[in-house]
Amino acid sequence: MIRDRAREQQQGTGRVNISELSRETGLDRKTIRYHLSSDAPPITPRTRNRSSKLDPYKPYILKRLEKYPRLSRVRLLDEIQSLGFDGKTTILGNYLRQIRPKIPVLPEIRYETPPGEMTQCDWSDCIYSCTDGSEKKVDCFSMILGYSRVRYVEFTQTQDLPTFLACHLRAFEYFNGVTRTILYDNLGSVVLKRKYPSTASDFHPSFVDLRDHFGFIARLCRINRAKTKGKVERTIGYVKDNFLYGREFNSFNDLNRQAQTWMKQANSKVHGTTNEIPFDRLPQEKLRPYSSYPTYLFKKRYPRKVSRDCYISLYQNYYSVPWQYAGRMVDVTECNNAVVVSADGTDICTHHLLEGKNQRSKRNEHFEGLLKKIRDEPCTSSKKKRKEQPCTNDTHLVQQRALCAYDVLCGEEKQ
């Protein structure tokens, strides 16, 4: 190459410029002069096969990789160091790149859903940066429409069931409708017991109320198969990389305010898969308008145990329950300023939600017949009478005498 460049220079200018060749090739001028003055091609020196510290351990490494091909370099280093290897990780890494077996990549099938068919939903843990330099952990609720790719994101401070259901309502309002199915992971807020098919699973009663109210079908991902809901998984990564990373927030409320602005911008950009703007594809979903659904009465349900005096507690207030349910577990539902107590799926009483603390709501009919029940109960003593047992220990026998013997003894003492 040096000689070819030199001949080109000589044909153009009539001379060879060593400095220019040095700048072009990055080689020293002495090196260029040496090759131009030599007629023979350069000889590449042969490298010697030097021994390595790793040589005694290579059979062990090969055997381990044959059985466990995904063993990491750090793990193998720990193992051979316990056998006496005193080298570093670099020499091991160079060797592993040469001999590690190639693991075939499982191909994926991308599937697309028709308009209005599916929404994917999930929770994720995120960390956001504050303006004071600190970092705080937060939960992120994410939803994405499968066809249009319109995203909804909301940050919360908990993943409890009431928050989960409330996020659904705000997402439905943002989409202005609900798809025919919604795909979930196996969340405790959704499913109590997983069955096959997933639609036959035992779902959380509060979630069932929301599902039946809006009329969608809840489907579950395969266990340990997060790729089933790949669209929302990529949305979570997009939120972390494109929204949270590199931004600072004054407060938790400021985080959600900026998230609303970011969602509007993100849903107005061309999507990388569909090559269309999500908001432009949203009308094609043909969702039933959110306003056409009846108003959803947000219910909060709590398990409670009825006390012995026939009351249950809620928000530090007390509500009477029919005395027949004393000591039993019941479900307490708060809905529209009312407290509904149910057992075995049947409502047994209703109270108005009390304000303040340490208040009591008592219904006299809940205690009818209780006094007669108590009077008719047989009186049983908790203490059992102890039976006299004769002493059977021969080492503590007591001699028995007639009382006249003591009279005789007393008479002798007087004399």
286: tokens are 């043909």
Residue-wise pLDDT tens digits, 68-126: 888 888 889 989 999 999 988 889 999 998 888 776 666 666 678 899 999 999 999 99
Write down the pLDDT at residue 168: 95
Band (pLDDT 50/70/90 cuts) for residue 374 is confident
Write down the pLDDT at residue 112: 84
Write down the pLDDT at residue 300: 75
pLDDT more than 70, % of the chain: 86
Rounded to an integer, the average pLDDT of 231-237 is 90
Looking only at the bridges linking them, the beta strands covering 329-335 and 338-343 are antiparallel
Band (pLDDT 50/70/90 cuts) for residue 176 is very high
Write down the pLDDT at residue 375: 84
User: For residues 323 and 405, what is the distance between their CA atoms, to the nearest angstrom?
Assistant: 67
The answer, yes or no, to whether residue 412 has pLDDT greater than 60, is no
Q: What string of DSSP letters covers 255-321?
A: HHHHHHHHHHHHTTSPPTTTSS-HHHHHHHH-PPPGGGSPPP---EEEEEE--TTSEEEETTEEEE-
Rounded to an integer, the average pLDDT of 11-27 is 81
The answer, yes or no, to whether residue 385 has pLDDT greater than 50, is no
Residue-wise pLDDT tens digits, 191-209: 888 888 888 888 988 899 8
212: tokens are 């039946």
Residue-wise pLDDT tens digits, 120-158: 999 999 999 999 999 999 999 999 999 999 999 999 998
Greater confidence (7 vs 181) lies with 181
What is the crossing angle of helices 18-25 and 29-37, to 10°? 110
Residue-wise pLDDT tens digits, 235-276: 999 999 889 988 899 999 999 999 999 999 999 999 988 999
Looking at residue 118, the DSSP 8-state letter turns out to be E
User: For residues 11 and 5, what is the distance between their CA atoms, to the nearest angstrom?
Assistant: 10
How does 142-164 read in b/e, with b if 16+ C-beta sit within 10 Å?
Answer: bbbbbbbbbbbbbbbeebebebb
Looking only at the bridges linking them, the beta strands covering 338-343 and 346-352 are antiparallel
